[in-house]
Structure 1
Amino acid sequence: MSWIRKLFGLGPQNDQAEYDDGQATLVVSAPVAPASNSGGLPRFSGLANEIEDDRGQSRELSAGHRLGRAYPVSQPVSDLRQFAGRRELLTSVIRSIEERRMHVVLYGDRGIGKTSLLHIIALLAKDARYLVRYSSCSASSDLDSTFRAIAEDIPLLYHEKGDPTSAQVESGKTLADLFDASRLTPASLSEVLDGVSGTRLLIILDEFDRTENPDFRREVAELIKNLSDRSSKVQILIGGVAENLSELVRQIPSIRRNLLGIPVGRMSDAELIEILTNGQAISGLLIDKIAQERLIASANGSPYLANLIAHQASSRAIERGGKSVTSADLKDGLAMMAREQMLRLPEAAQQQVEKLLTQVPHDQLRAAVGHALEHFGQVTLNQFPALKPMADGEASGEIPLTFVDDGVPLTIWLRLAELQS
């Protein structure tokens, strides 16, 4: 039996090896051609093996693939050429890290672009020869597992104990090899990190709000304080969903002087236009002026919504063979988004959506859900008395109210945007 049979378990009846002078060559079947009669079913617009060159330039990418690159909706932006807006914010973060040696927290609502910002900052820091390590937190994150994983990815070469000519460095040892078997503490971790040399280390902790372990939050706060007290070459950049800095880091009051909290808010219309300009250049599909104005209004300052709406509207234009995105494409795209968003809601939330749409004047409802989208889903009856139908019992006008589901404001916003487009 040939080595091919041994490796793949092929028997004589299905052995597709050909022999030439005792050498075996595996004959690989070509992909089966698609059936000519698709029965009118929708088809994928491109091939899965379409590739890009080293500079990220398209090689005959299909319209669908170009659209995915133009308006990323399921992944953060990780290409400097696609990043739009946020210039002042980026400048503030870079100066805080580089000049003031601060630890930084980026906080804000969901879908506002925090993770994209962190990825871009990581790229810019790497360009400046920083050593950058990124970790996304989870509900079960703890100090020991999180920072051991980070340390395992940092060569011992970047530590004062790592002689470039030593056997340890040449054998691929890492900072994790400097830890003993006991659980890491802020004190033991900061002692090792204080030895980083030859560069500066930027540790990015994203999704910090997801952790449910209060000890992890407290220990990260202690670690930041220890690193600052030691004037270490290690800085920590944190990102998370929060209305204010205290919600993310509230364990140690004295840590405030070591941290700079930077809120990430809504984007301006000019910044959203920059997103759309970049997207049109990549997709090759223009958005007409009226459609663009309505799209920006519908995005409500959210880069996520701007990309998602532009993607859906452009997809409709491609389906009809159009050369530009029109207001009709925008309306169809918003309708599709509203339907998909509605299907994600539980039944009680769907009922609340319909109740509010039928009982509250749409101009007042739009103002209320727009406010909710900018304030972590919260509204008050003092601000929006027309929302009385959603209040349970004798709710006070000053008490912040939330919807049955946090997806309700977005669903209503999309439904109203569709009606107005």
Structure 2
Amino acid sequence: MTSLDETFTRRTLVMRSFSPSAPIADKTLFAGRTEQMSTLISIAFQNGQHAVIYGERGVGKTSLARVMKSAFSGSAWTSYYTCSSGDTFGSIWRNILSDFPISDSRPRAGFAKDTVTATSTLADMLRDTDPTPNEIRGVLELLGEADGNAVIFIDEFDRPDAPSTRSLFADTIKILSDQAVPVTIVLVGVADNIDELIAEHMSVQRALVQIQMPRMTGDELMEIVTQGMRSANLGFEEEFAKQVVRISQGLPHYTHLLCQNAGVYVVEQGREKVHAMDFDFAVTRALSNVSQTVREKYHRATFSNRETLYRQVLLACAMAEKDELGTFSAPDVRDKLCEVTGRRYEIPAFANHLTDFSSIDGARGGILAKRGVLRRFRYRFIDPLLPPYILMKGRVEGLTKELS
């Protein structure tokens, strides 16, 4: 029989091997994204080259940036800063430059022959609270004089509210590139395209290597399962992994979440292998670990005091075939709604449901974004973390067994 201490140790190992709540920082647990990693490595030490990592929420941008920051730290000065809504151009740079220490040795006052060393940071070199891009360039050049390259990661770049922030960063990147300052800036943010992050200076795009983070492939998600289970000293049936990959819809968060819950359950049972039958238990446990925001969106969109089709229509939307932009049409929903309900519904029967989900002001709105023209509308989930949750709810509530 497994002792309590051994169970606790094994459980802790599972929790460390899968990380649904925080970005991956340990490169031994990081899976996939070899193309994006290769691109960052190739530009990191090229003067005049900078990068922007962009993509929808939940695809692993921060994990990639953190792992790469760790990888570069042995051969370059590095800094990592996460922006907040109240940040400005000046506050971001003061926090970043505080990571770079400088020292100044001077003769001690009086007749003593020894010296005294004063330690400060590059942030102390800024004269004003609102530095200009040229002042930032002048301070960063000190790193080059110290015979060192630097790679600076700026995460959540889409969050600052100050309208001038992005423009000033565009100016800074342009100047650093033109002057070949040995510093690489890597911007990271939620966006569909680079223009949503940097809308200034067409010429700055020549200095910015665009690294899009698409949803992970099935093979990359399978790699997460394999590496995590190996790290947790657990075996697993291939069918379990396939179900996890299908329901995750390319989002590593759900792969980590489901594997962690399944692993903990197996350890509690005193077993060393995750079976396909453990998938449903993992889904049930994982539902309560999904963010409160996602759960509230689902509840608001589907709640009713009477019998309605809102749950079934929303599930059909999550199941619908998507194009490369993540959009789907009403006919796509119709086909899946038939699978969910076992009845044939024509589009007029649920058209109002789609309108409610895509409205701006309604109680059920803010779920879908609607594009196109009348009778040819296409829809897309605004929050990419919502569809896998909807699929898990449908699974637990017995509305679909498509993942069996």
TM-score clears 0.5: yes
Partner-residue secondary structure (3-state), 2:81: strand
Determine which of 301, 309, 322 is the counterpart of 2:271.
Answer: 322
User: Structure 2 residue aligned with 1:152, among 98, 107, 117?
Assistant: 98
2:26 aligned residue (66, 79, 88): 79
AA at the equivalent of 1:228: S
Matched-pair contact (CA < 8 Å) for 2:319–2:391 = no
What one-letter code is carried by the residue in structure 2 that aligns with 1:230?
Q
The farther-off stretch of 400-409 and 67-76 is 400-409
Unaligned regions of 5+ residues in structure 2, if any?
109-114, 335-346, 360-369
- Map 1:229-308 → 2, pairs under 5 A: 229-308=178-257
> What is the DSSP-based 3-state SS (H/G/I as helix, E as strand, rest coil) of the residue aligned with 2:23?
coil
Residue in structure 2 matched with residue 106 of structure 1 by the alignment: 53
Matched, 1:348 2:312: no
Match of 1:134 in 2: 80
Structure 1 residues 85 and 132: CA distance shift in structure 2, 3 A: same
Q: For 1:336-382, what per-residue CA distance to the aligned partner results, in whole angstroms no more than 9, with x for missing partners? A: 33355496315422439x7344357x6x54443x749x857x64447
CA distance in 2, matches of 1:169, 1:262: 46
Query: 1:401 and 1:292, CA in 2 relative to 1: closer, same or farther beyond 3 A?
Result: closer
1:212 to 1:371, Cα distance in 2 relative to 1, 3 A: farther
- Residue pairs, 1:17-416, within 5 angstroms: 62-99=9-46, 101-127=48-74, 129-156=75-102, 170-197=117-144, 198-338=147-287, 341=290, 344-346=295-297, 347-351=299-303, 355-359=309-313, 364-368=316-320, 371=322, 375=325, 379-381=328-330, 384=333, 388=351, 389-392=353-356, 396-401=374-379, 408-416=386-394
Gaps of 5+ in 1: 1-44, 47-58
1-side partners of 2:51 and 2:132: how far apart?
21
- Greater mean alpha carbon deviation, residues 168-177 or residues 80-89: 168-177
In structure 2, give the amino acid aligned to 1:396: L
1:358-415 CA deviation, whole Å, 9 max, x = no partner?
357x6x54443x749x857x64447646663222499834455456977642321223
Amino acid at match of 1:68: M
Q: CA deviation at 1:173?
A: 2.2
Runs of 4+ in 1 over 6 A off after TM superposition: 164-169
Contact 1:345 1:407 in 2 (8 A): no
Indicate conservation of the 8 Å contact 1:190/1:227, yes or no.
yes
Q: Work out which of the two has the higher radius of gyration on C-alpha atoms and give 1 or 2.
A: 1
* SS of the residue 2:154 aligns to: strand
Amino acid at match of 1:355: L
Look up the equivalent residue of 1:414 and give its one-letter code: M
Alignment-derived partner of residue 21 in structure 1: none
Q: What do residues 148-176 of structure 1 show as CA deviations (whole Å, max 9, x unaligned)?
A: 1221221225xxxx6x7788993112212
Distance 1:273 1:405 in 2: 23
Structure 1 pair 405–249 and aligned structure 2 pair: CA distance change class (3 A)? closer
Q: Secondary structure at the match of 2:143?
A: coil
- TM-score of the pair, normalised by structure 2: 0.78
Distance change in 2, residues 1:405/1:232 (3 Å) = closer
Of 404-413 and 252-261, more deviation after overlay is shown by 404-413
CA RMSD of aligned residues (A): 3.2
How far has the Cα of 1:283 moved from its partner? 1.2
Q: Which moved more, 1:393-402 or 1:114-123?
A: 393-402
| CA deviation profile, 1:123-145 (whole Å, cap 9, x unmatched) | 11112x21001100111111111
SS in 2 for 1:91: helix
How far apart are the structure 1 equivalents of 2:35 and 2:12?
A: 31
Q: What does the per-residue CA deviation read over 1:222-277, in whole Å, with 9 as the maximum and x for residues that have no partner?
A: 11111111110112001111111111111222211111111011222222222112
**1:317 offset after TM fit, Å?**
1.8
SS at match of 2:80: strand
**Separation (CA, whole Å) in 2 of partners of 1:139 and 1:342:** 20
Distance, in Å, in 2 between the alignment partners of 1:180 and 1:171 is 18
Structure with larger RCO (C-alpha < 8 A, sep 6+): 2
| Aligned residues with identical type, % of pairs | 26
Summarize the Cα distance change of 1:165–1:95 in structure 2 as closer, same or farther, 3 Å threshold: farther
TM-score by length of 1: 0.75
Give the secondary structure class of the aligned counterpart of 2:153: strand
SS at match of 1:81: coil
3-state SS in 2 of match to 1:237: strand
